[in-house]
Amino acid sequence: MTNTDICNFLVIGVDTTFIAASAKSAGYNVYAVDYFDDVDLQWACNDYRSAIKHYNGESHKDRSTFFNPKVLLELAKNLAEKWRIDAVLLSSGLDDRFDVLCELNNIAPILGNSPSTIRNVREKQVFFGKLKELGIPHPKTVVVKSVLEAKEAAAGIGYPVVIKPAGGFGGIGTRAASNPTDIVKAFSSASKISDKVI
């Protein structure tokens, strides 16, 4: 596929307004799927679907749609049934859902990194091991599963440290820790998002 073959983009993620607006201003037809139903999105695309809907200026959501990437995928399939989609542009929120990324790639090719490339980068132990093997400088990184492991890793690395979920997006659950007491709070926040913590 060449750039001249692409006329219709599907933009999908938690917040798609800026990507959709950029593609629209570049002259493409844009179909978007987002989580928040931003008012700006309706002007940035030809058609869109949102997990959360606004009625009379208020946000209303069904609890079953609380950040469920499968809901975004179903909305994307709905748009793809109605419109020809030439390529997919990803926003944040689907980074750790390789099943969803693969299904999106079946709707139309994802521009940028393939689902397998995204998976390789998101598997932190593999990714940081590859950086080390290639001699690429990066922060000291340890994947832990308990507060005790986190405290031991922080003592070995040296304070301050950043604690974050191994999965997730947008900085959710990411905290700085300057001492063992901070580790407990930070680990609690990160472990709510992912069972593996960095």
pLDDT band at 70 (very low <50, low <70, confident <90, very high): very high
Q: What does the pLDDT look like over 87-105, one tens digit per residue?
A: 999 998 898 889 999 999 9
Residue 148 DSSP label: H
Residue 20: the pLDDT is 96
Q: What is the distance between the alpha carbons of residues 187 and 81, in angstroms, rounded to a whole number?
A: 43
**CA-closest candidate to residue 12, choices 127, 103, 121:** 103
Q: What does the pLDDT look like over 113-167, one tens digit per residue?
A: 999 999 888 888 788 889 999 999 988 888 888 999 999 999 999 999 999 888 7
Q: Other C-beta atoms within 10 Å of 143: how many? A: 15
Cβ atoms of 114 and 105 within 8 Å: the answer is: yes
The domain locations on the chain are 3-120, 124-191
Residue 63: the pLDDT is 44
CA separation, residue 126 to residues 73, 111, 133, 143, 168 (Å): 27, 24, 10, 11, 17
Q: What is the Cα gyration radius of the chain?
A: 19
CATH class of 3-120: alpha beta
Provide the whole-model pTM. Answer: 0.77
Lowest mean pLDDT among 31-35, 53-57, 99-103, 174-178: 53-57
Residue 56: the pLDDT is 57
Residue 104: the pLDDT is 96
Cβ atoms of 194 and 165 within 8 Å: the answer is: yes
Tell me which architecture the domain covering 124-191 has in CATH.
2-Layer Sandwich (3.30)
Average pLDDT over residues 38-44: 87
